[in-house]
Amino acid sequence: MTKKTFVSVFRSSKKPDTYLFVKRGQVWKELPESLRGIFGSPVHSMDLIMTPERKLARTSGKQVLEAIDDKGFLLQMPEEQSGYVVDFRRKPEQQSDINEKSGESESRQ
């Protein structure tokens, strides 16, 4: 693994909070077709000088560089979101009561 690498970051035009890290100058058509299909058209976000020590919001420079060395890219997907719907008309205490009651009714079925 090299100490410093120029990396380009692209965001997905199809999927929110989805980013692709590649070596700067990477030819888009050389990436796997399945990746290009789900990612959509790349929208350039930024270029970085990546080092193994660099800290990023949801990954590290080391992970980015290892993935680029191994696969030619790092695909960063959004973090999992909570699976329940919040009723914004109710106070939080009332919402938790409703969630508890719905959990009881589901366990009875």
Domain ranges of the chain: 5-76
Kind of pairing, strands 5-12 and 42-50?
A: antiparallel
Q: What is the CATH number of domain 5-76?
A: 3.10.510.20
Asked whether residue 95 carries a pLDDT value surpassing 60, the answer given is no
pLDDT higher at 8 or 109: 8
Render pLDDT for 33-86 as a digit per residue (tens, 0 to 9): 999 999 999 999 999 999 999 999 899 999 999 999 999 999 999 877 555 555
**Cβ-Cβ contacts under 8 Å for 49 (sequence gap 6 or more):** 4, 5, 6, 7
pLDDT at 78: 87
Asked whether residue 101 carries a pLDDT value surpassing 80, the answer given is no
